[in-house]
Amino acid sequence: MSNEQIQQKVEALLAQMTLEEKAAQMVQVPYTVAGREESLRWARLGAGSFLHVLGDDAREVQQTALKESRLGIPVIFGIDAIHGHGLNQDAAIFPSQLACACSWDPAVAEEMGRVTAREVATDGLHWTFSPVCCLGRDTRWGRIDETFGEDPYLSGEMTYGIVRGYQGDSLDAPDSILACAKHYIGYGEAVGARDAVDTQMTYRKMKEVFVPPFQRAVDAGCATFMTAYGSIDGTPFTADPKTMKTILRDEMGFDGFVVTDWNNCQSLLTQQFVAADIGEASILSAEAGNDMMMTTLDFYDAAIRAVREGRLDEKVLDDAVRHILTVKFRMDLFGKPEKAGIPGCIGCEEHRQAAYRAGQRSITLLKNNGALPLRDVKKVAVIGQNADDIQSQYGDWTYLTHPNSETARPPRRPYVTVKEGFEQLCEAHGAQCVYHHGCAVRPLPPEVIAMIEGPVLADPVAENIRQQSMRRMPPRDDIPGAVAAAKDADAIVLVVGDTIDQHGEYKDRGNLDLSGEQMALYRALRALNIPLTVVLVSSKPLCIGEIAETADAVIVAFNGGQYGGLAVAEAAFGVFNPSGRLPITFPAHSGQLPVYYNSLPGWHGGRYMDLPRTPVYAFGEGMGYAPFSYANLVFDAAALTASVDVTNAGDVPGTEVVQVYMHDLVASVIRPVKQLIAFTRVDLAPGETKTVTFRLRREDFSLVNREEKRIVEPGEFDLFIGHSSRDEDLLRTRFAL
């Protein structure tokens, strides 16, 4: 259907809708909270969308909307399928967005999106609340794992890939779903990384740093946007027409619909206190440009009343409904209310293989003094709770972690933990593998343990919680046991990290040191003087300065998905040559935060006097089993082409991620010390040299000026090309534009 035909259909339908039906179309009902009966009532009223409902329950809602609502407008079902269709127990589970970003490969994101779309669609659903385009710059924030890291450009390229993957070539294909760029905007930039509070943004800064990844979502045709909880200079984004209309629609060119985040409309009165009642909150939200209100069911009555009382123009509702119906027609929801997907594809072999490949691509080797790859080992000791904890390996937003799932639900095979990966690889290499948990990643306080292990409780709810907690009890610390298990090994692999209780919404951390006795465990194992590799299975960079200095090898796996553990073991044994690069900085200390490579200059002293100047690992760092060298940087300023010779100086094939940064020497606003503007992956055989050429664009050197306009200012620039964001890894040339 052409755009014109769609618009005609939208207008014809809108003309038939009553005020009540328009208000209902703007409501998104949380099935798990509302329950079945209430959800069906909303379907009859003509609610526009439901979230968190799967399978037959979703089908029943859809049939009710089609047959029992006056106009039979189909509903859209949304779900948080953010690294695979993870809330479905059988789905393929991919690495988290952060882990996926270690690949520096938009094709990996696209494949993850494609597979997820097929599985979500096969469940009859239409829409995923993904990707997160927020930047992870202050890693105390609980949701760092959901981001593509700290950089606007890398995040934008990964965003572009995943949105293309979700939406495919056409929204009406049976296996395409709607993407949702979230949380627009600045959610990761809240003061002190405190989930959902006010941001330290101005509109200029918003446009320069935070809009770009969202712009890439728009460029990829992203059909929906979700707003952020936070605020800008005291104005909640939910109530800010400049953010939602001027910037998003007029400047960025977005033409889909906007959904609020969870109860944002209600929060205007219950958390942000800029509305005295739900009527005011509803008027503010609707007028600002929120087309659909997630979970704020009271919006319905309040909006109807506000229109009747003359406090809200019905045209505001018309616009919102227009946006929603346009997307519904674009995806041919009226012709095909239920997505067909590809029957039998959920968790199929092909999809699992894709998750496995993504897991391999996310493995990032950060240090290796020759301990890896493992060779001629007779016994490998794998130590650490996270080496055998599938919940930590999966990370957030899977059926094991989502608050609405039963926490006691057993993990469904197939998956391979790090321990199991080493068992497989050791067997293949004729070596013995021993495992010991060593200590709890996050031990419980003694009084909680006493309660959990105590007598049966009279209150059935409390007893249920006790029983669930019992099943999820962290193991007891036993460092001597781990040392005994490891003492005659040829290699030790210690897995450290965090658990699902230490990240996610509502779970910001002030201290990113390894929790519990993990450092004591490390030191005890280090004292054995056996080659020691440390693996991080975590949601974010943790403070591992001492480990970085004294371990023999360091691998970052983050939340690697169902085969993340196998990928770690294969990388350690050299089955493949790891090629991940950090999309995010590892701080030297929690007090160093926020720390990111593209900071603004001007800090007197450039450091906290009691902390190191540099982070432990910088953005872009990562290595494989072959070193790369760079030579002959040539830049043609007129054609804006840059080329460099990259050589694999090792004896195994390897993949280098060639990174291009720029710095604007003098500008009307302060520019970052360095900004990534391009990158590419290059496969190189041992000894091979390739000339890598980048075609840059003038806008790669642009800035957002004080008038909030993106422009290119003439002047001198530095161009850097090399292996990571560290100065010592980069060749440099200066030119005038």
Q: How far apart are CA 304 and CA 282, in angstroms?
A: 10
**b/e code 173-201 from CB counts within 10 Å (16+ = b):** bebbbbbbbbbbbbbbbbeebebbebbeb
Residue 289, CA distances (Å) to 2, 142, 157, 249, 319 in order: 25, 28, 27, 10, 9
Q: Residue 507 Cβ, how far from ligand NOJ at the closest point, in Å?
A: 12
Q: Residue 692 Cβ, how far from ligand NOJ at the closest point, in Å?
A: 37
Bridge partner list, 660: 678, 721
Beta carbons of 555 and 364 less than 8 angstroms apart:
yes
The site string for ligand NOJ over 40-79 (x = CB under 6 A, - otherwise) reads -----------x----------------------------
Residues from 163 through 182 that contact ligand NOJ (CB under 6 A):
182
Q: Residue 151 Cβ, how far from ligand NOJ at the closest point, in Å?
A: 21
Q: How far apart are CA 43 and CA 32, in angstroms?
A: 14
Residue type, 173: A
Place of tokens 């998956």: 415
Q: Residue 259 Cβ, how far from ligand NOJ at the closest point, in Å?
A: 9
Q: Residue 292 Cβ, how far from ligand NOJ at the closest point, in Å?
A: 12
How many CA within 13 A on the CB side of residue 612?
13
262 contacts ligand NOJ (rule: CB under 6 A): yes
Give 31 or 625: the residue with its C-beta nearer to ligand NOJ.
31
Interface residue with ligand NOJ among 23, 24, 75, 80 (CB under 6 A) is: 80
261 contacts ligand NOJ (rule: CB under 6 A): yes
Q: Residue 279 Cβ, how far from ligand NOJ at the closest point, in Å?
A: 24
145 contacts ligand NOJ (rule: CB under 6 A): no
Task: Read off the tokens for 434.
Answer: 């021993």
Give 51 or 616: the residue with its C-beta nearer to ligand NOJ.
51
Task: Read off the tokens for 239.
Answer: 């109530």
How many amino acids of this chain bind ligand NOJ (CB under 6 A)? Answer: 7
Give 147 or 577: the residue with its C-beta nearer to ligand NOJ.
147
Q: How far apart are CA 432 and CA 430, in angstroms?
A: 7
Q: Residue 256 Cβ, how far from ligand NOJ at the closest point, in Å?
A: 16
What is the DSSP pairing of strand 553-556 with strand 364-368? antiparallel
Give 183 or 671: the residue with its C-beta nearer to ligand NOJ.
183
Closest C-alpha to 361, from 561, 548, 653, 641 = 561
Give 186 or 474: the residue with its C-beta nearer to ligand NOJ.
186
Q: Residue 130 Cβ, how far from ligand NOJ at the closest point, in Å?
A: 8
Residue nearest to ligand NOJ (CB): 129
Give 261 or 291: the residue with its C-beta nearer to ligand NOJ.
261
Q: Residue 138 Cβ, how far from ligand NOJ at the closest point, in Å?
A: 17
Beta carbons of 561 and 94 less than 8 angstroms apart:
yes
**b/e code 136-163 from CB counts within 10 Å (16+ = b):** bbbbbbbbbbbbbbbbbbbbbbbbbbbb
Give 85 or 182: the residue with its C-beta nearer to ligand NOJ.
182
Q: How far apart are CA 640 and CA 222, in angstroms?
A: 30
Give 114 or 182: the residue with its C-beta nearer to ligand NOJ.
182
Q: Is 250 in a helix, a strand, or coil?
A: helix
Q: Residue 78 Cβ, how far from ligand NOJ at the closest point, in Å?
A: 7
Give 78 or 622: the residue with its C-beta nearer to ligand NOJ.
78
Give 203 or 262: the residue with its C-beta nearer to ligand NOJ.
262
Residues from 443 through 502 that contact ligand NOJ (CB under 6 A):
none
List of residues contacting ligand NOJ (CB under 6 A):
51, 80, 129, 182, 261-262, 505
